[in-house]
Every structure is written in C-alpha cells, then in structure tokens.
Amino acid sequence: MKIFCVGRNYAAHAAELGNEVPDEPVIFMKPKSALLQPHTPFYYPEFTNELHYECELVLRISKNGKYIQDKFAGKYYDAITAGIDFTARDIQNDLKAKGLPWEKAKAWDNSAVIGKWLPFTNIKNKKDINFGLYKNKELVQQGNSGSMIHSFDTLVSYISNYFSVNIGDVIFTGTPAGVGEAVVGDELEGFIEDESMFKLEVK
C-alpha cells in the first residue's frame, strides 16, 4: 500500500502559507506506517510544538495501472473519503528554510487519518463534492472538489507516470484554506456533504 499526497492543490491554501501556485501537481508520499489504524487513539507527537490539521478528500485506487491516460483515469479509483494529513508545521518550516526534504514533518507514524469509504456510485458529481472539518464542533475548513487546481483524473494520471498505482493505494488530493493548529483535547470531525466520515480526539 502506498499513500500519495498532493500539495498546493487549492490556490487559497497555497496563498495562506505564502507558497506559489505550482504549474504541475506537487507529489509527496507517506509510508504505510503513517496510516492511523481504525480504533487507534491519536496522540500528539512529542517532537513538535505546532501540530496542524489539513483536511482532504482521499481517493481509493481500485485497479493496478501505469502511464494512465487522463481520459481513462476514472476507471482506476472507486471510493472517496475525507482524511487528515497531519503536519508538524514548525519542523516543516525549519526544513524548508534549509532547502531540505520534509518527510519528518509529514510522514511520521499515524500522521495520515482516513475515514470510512463512500463508493463513487453514491456521488452525483465528482467535480462538485463539498467537504469540511470541524474542530470542537466549529467549522474550520470547508472545500469543494471543483476548486481543486488539478482534478482527480489528472492526479491519478500524473502520479501513474512516475509510480505504479496498485489496488488499495490512496491519494490525499490536497487541502483547502483554513489549516490550523490542533492541541491536546481537541475533537476533529471530517465530513463529506452532510455525512460524518471520521471523528478523533487529540490525546
């Protein structure tokens, strides 16, 4: 299983972090150990003082492929959920300032949260999916798949030019504006439309 992640796929989020909007998808990966297993508590990592949530739509790959054309990419994923790409922002900023890779800030154990899966047969329009994140019952992030710079199909096609995609792989498709800090005791709940996808407490 591979966890692909897409950075800066919403212009407003790129702007809020002071990043340029890229011409092509920004891809990074998390190891399998980054996936928070169901019913496993999420603990605030001891190595950071600035833990940020980034709520995203997540695709599930359902077919093996390589060099997939954009027009066929929709046949390679079958379900969607909401998830969180947790980020140690202080560590990331320090590494970026030094021009160093920032896996330490993104790819640590349990840094990838995935909710329950919704089959795409339940989705009316994949270019108009509303999603959001509540922190302590207050809406802190809100996005729509139509605002993505690079669409689901474009992302699958692009990633497959560099990596084989395999059944069970997942793609975090980017976070909208509104990322922020989470502290011990916070309750985070992700939604697609009006349906809760996951709920967790930072311990």
pTM (predicted TM-score): 0.95
Show the domain range for 12: 3-201
Looking up tokens 């996005």, which residue turns up? 143
Which CATH number covers residue 23? 3.90.850.10
Residue type, 159: I
Q: In the chain, how many domains are there? A: 1
DSSP 73-116: GGGGEEEEEEEEE-EEHHHHHHHHHTT---HHHHSSTT-EEE--
Lookup: tokens for 136: 């302590």
pLDDT in tens, 37-96: 998 999 999 999 999 999 999 999 999 999 999 999 999 999 999 999 999 999 999 999
Q: Is the pLDDT of residue 185 over 60?
A: yes
Residue 12 pLDDT class (50, 70, 90 cuts): low
